[in-house]
Amino acid sequence: MVMFKVARVDTTPFDGQKPGTSGLRKKVKVFMQPNYLENFVQSTFNALSAEKVRGATLVVSGDGRFYSKEAIQIIIKMSAANGVRRVWVGQNGLLSTPAVSAVIRERVGRDGSKASGSFILTASHNPGGPHEDFGIKYNMENGGPAPEGITDKIFENTKTIKEYFIAQDLPDVDISAVGITSFSGPEGKFDVDVFDSASDYVKLMKSIFDFTSIQKLISSPKFTFCYDALHGVAGAYAKRIFVEELGAQESSLLNCVPKEDFGGGHPDPNLTYAKELVARMGLGKSSSQGEPPEFGAAADGDADRNMILGKRFFVTPSDSVAIIAANAVQAIPYFSGGLKGVARSMPTSAALDVVAKHLNLKFFEVPTGWKFFGNLMDAGLCSVCGEESFGTGSDHIREKDGIWAVLAWLSILAHRNKNNLSGGEKLETVEDIVRQHWATYGRHYYTRYDYENVDAGAAKELMACLVNLQSDLAEVNKIVKGICSDVSNVADADEFEYKDPVDGSISKHQGIRYLFADGSRLVFRLSGTGSEGATIRLYIEQYEKDPSKTGRDSQAALAPLVEVALKLSKMEQFTGRSAPTVIT
């Protein structure tokens, strides 16, 4: 057995190692500076209580982006030096974010060990490659992201760090081959356990969904399917689940080979970046020839996000979570006993609220960030939740889950079509399901405008002006009517604030809301996940109850509110942008 020693290395702090909504994200070249990653990892060890480090089992893996392999070797060596007993690594360093959560919660090592936390190496939906982003975040033993108490401590530690510990004479571990390699250090044995990235996750999915009924749907000659991993880590799961378990054809998989640079693309599943899928589904200007598939979906780099599409049809994430909640009990075995409650983030449309009311379910509106759902789930208050930012999930883990969302939709389709898979009758499609949902619950027309990488000072000023304006609703209404007389009155305006019902913590300044008398909303927020400049997000929503009016084109229906939002915020004046970077 190879023996290693522990080296103490002197270091000095780096500025700006504050973990954002989902960990520390910076350009690769920033992470590659000597000691940069090491400082953050040691600061994390120092922020955790001793028993979470000494003798512990930690998961280290990620979405496979550029610099992951080097980072994994560094973290293995630092874990060994800090007294960690075992490091679990997904084969080739690949684990999706939801799979990490599942592995922490479910996996039992050969010697009966359980993991108590994880370093996840991802910058989620941000591009990867030598000139793009890298990221790292820490998840706790419930499988969810570290709470603010811990991330604040990590940040404080990064400001004063003087030394870190790293194993000397520990060779790089071959993470391409499954198996356990043991080493011996000053405190005893240290193992690196490289395991299959998909098995635990697949097992969990099979315990939640009825794979037999989904398989019948997929094998029906009337159903066609397409999945785009955008060269992210979802590819490592897609083949196993959709092809091997559920019988989809290999040709239904697009961009399912994980790549360090995501093939040069932007691995974010939306109508702008998932170009190939969007074209294949018959949407957008460059739609491909031939009949589009009945169902399409995409994931982001670390596979926690999802986009759901029907043939020539886009399902907004806000509608998606509402529709999953409305159908979960009938269509998904895991929920057959009923839903404990449902939750959405504040900027997500109120489609879920209407379902919760109809079904008499507990309902929560939380700030943006999955960790707020985690608290509710740990307390048994919430089963299904979702965000407008293409995140959907449930209490099976403590992260959002891109493949889970696809399986949820396939389950709904399988359930609705169970007597209809053979024979001449037309299948009930994604579009049919959404339109029926609108007919029952009303429709929340919804769009989001993103202004990426704008000047941070200008973004702050724009937000400050909007907050200022809120103190005088009469003035606001005068301005609004001056822009467009068709929209209803602004009845209320505020900055969203949240008191966590479980731990009582209060989160302030979570977005600026203008609430209209007819239920329409304008929400302005600064993104917490960018790595350069500021990103302003503008969320626009309008509720239509009348079933004869739920079929309009969304951008046309929302045009008056969009005009009000842009002029009220003086968007062009502050940002110099005449159009958003992305519209979803």
Q: Which residue has the tokens 């360093």?
A: 93
Question: What is the phi-psi region of residue 394: left when phi exceeds 0, alpha when psi lies from -120 to 50, beta otherwise?
Answer: beta
Q: Which residue has the tokens 């759901």?
A: 308
Is there a catalytic annotation at residue 548?
A: no
Question: Is residue 125 within 8 Å of residue 66, measured between CB atoms?
Answer: no
Strands (E) across 127-174 are located at 133-139, 163-168
Return the residue of 79, 368, 429, 531 that touches ligand G6P, per CB under 6 A: 368
How far from each other are the two terminal CA atoms of the chain, in whole angstroms? 55
Copy the structure tokens of residue 180: 């356990």
CB of 369 to ligand G6P, least distance (A): 5
CB of 302 to Zn ion, least distance (A): 4
Return the residue of 132, 294, 302, 541 that touches Zn ion, per CB under 5 A: 302
Q: Which residue has the tokens 């949240």?
A: 498
Q: Could you say which residues in the range 365-404 bind Zn ion, by CB under 5 A? A: none
Q: Please, which residue, 21 or 213, has the CB nearer to Zn ion?
A: 21
Which backbone phi and psi does 62 adopt, to 5 degrees? -175, -155
Q: Could you say which residues in the range 22-81 bind ligand G6P, by CB under 6 A? A: 22
Question: Is residue 20 within 8 Å of residue 174, measured between CB atoms?
Answer: no
Copy the structure tokens of residue 279: 């074209």
Identify what 370 binds: ligand G6P, Zn ion, none; CB under 5 to 8 Å per kind.
ligand G6P
Closest residue by Cα to residue 248 from 232, 226, 233 = 226
d(CA 383, CA 341): 6
Output helix, strand, coil percentages for the chain, rounded to the nearest 5.
35, 25, 40
Q: Could you say which residues in the range 328-367 bind ligand G6P, by CB under 6 A? A: 345
- Regarding 193 and contact with Zn ion (CB under 5 A), the answer is no
Identify what 391 binds: ligand G6P, Zn ion, none; CB under 5 to 8 Å per kind.
ligand G6P
d(CA 539, CA 516): 14
Return the residue of 6, 17, 19, 21 that touches ligand G6P, per CB under 6 A: 21
Return the residue of 268, 304, 353, 401 that touches Zn ion, per CB under 5 A: 304
Q: Which residue is nearest to Zn ion (CB)?
A: 124
- Regarding 387 and contact with ligand G6P (CB under 6 A), the answer is yes
Identify what 529 binds: ligand G6P, Zn ion, none; CB under 5 to 8 Å per kind.
ligand G6P
Helix (H, G, I), strand (E, B) or coil at 566: helix
d(CA 109, CA 86): 10
What residues pair up with 183 in beta bridges, in sequence order?
A: 2, 190
In eight-state DSSP terms, residue 288 is: P
Return the residue of 224, 529, 531, 542 that touches ligand G6P, per CB under 6 A: 529
- Regarding 370 and contact with ligand G6P (CB under 6 A), the answer is yes
> Quick count: other Cβ atoms within 10 Å of Cβ 73?
19
Mark 539-558 with x for binding to ligand G6P (rule: CB under 6 A) and - for no binding. Answer: --------------------
Q: 267: Cβ–Cβ under 8 A, 6 or more apart, which residues?
A: 125, 126, 127, 128, 230, 231, 232, 273, 299, 300, 301
- Number of residues binding to ligand G6P, judged by CB under 6 A: 14
Question: Is residue 209 within 8 Å of residue 104, measured between CB atoms?
Answer: no
Q: Which residue has the tokens 């405008």?
A: 449
CB of 17 to Zn ion, least distance (A): 21
Rg (CA), the chain: 24
In eight-state DSSP terms, residue 289 is: S
Out of 68, 118, 124, 569, the active site residue is: 124
What residues pair up with 181 in beta bridges, in sequence order?
A: 192
Identify what 300 binds: ligand G6P, Zn ion, none; CB under 5 to 8 Å per kind.
Zn ion
- Regarding 18 and contact with ligand G6P (CB under 6 A), the answer is no
d(CA 324, CA 413): 11
Mark 450-489 with x for binding to ligand G6P (rule: CB under 6 A) and - for no binding. Answer: ----------------------------------------
Q: Could you say which residues in the range 116-155 bind ligand G6P, by CB under 6 A? A: 124
- Number of residues binding to Zn ion, judged by CB under 5 A: 5
Identify what 294 binds: ligand G6P, Zn ion, none; CB under 5 to 8 Å per kind.
none
CB of 266 to Zn ion, least distance (A): 12
Mark 106-145 with x for binding to Zn ion (rule: CB under 5 A) and - for no binding. Answer: ------------------x---------------------
CB of 266 to ligand G6P, least distance (A): 14
- Regarding 389 and contact with ligand G6P (CB under 6 A), the answer is yes
Q: Please, which residue, 139 or 327, has the CB nearer to ligand G6P?
A: 139
CB of 390 to ligand G6P, least distance (A): 8
Identify what 21 binds: Zn ion, ligand G6P, none; CB under 5 to 8 Å per kind.
ligand G6P
DSSP letter string, 509-548: ---EEEEETTS-EEEEEE-SS-SSSEEEEEEEEEEE--GG
CB of 321 to ligand G6P, least distance (A): 12
CB of 516 to Zn ion, least distance (A): 32
Copy the structure tokens of residue 6: 């522990």
Binding site for ligand G6P (CB under 6 A): 21-22, 124, 345, 368-370, 387, 389, 391, 527-529, 537
| Residues near Zn ion, by CB under 5 A | 124, 300, 302, 304-305
Residues marked active site are found at: 124
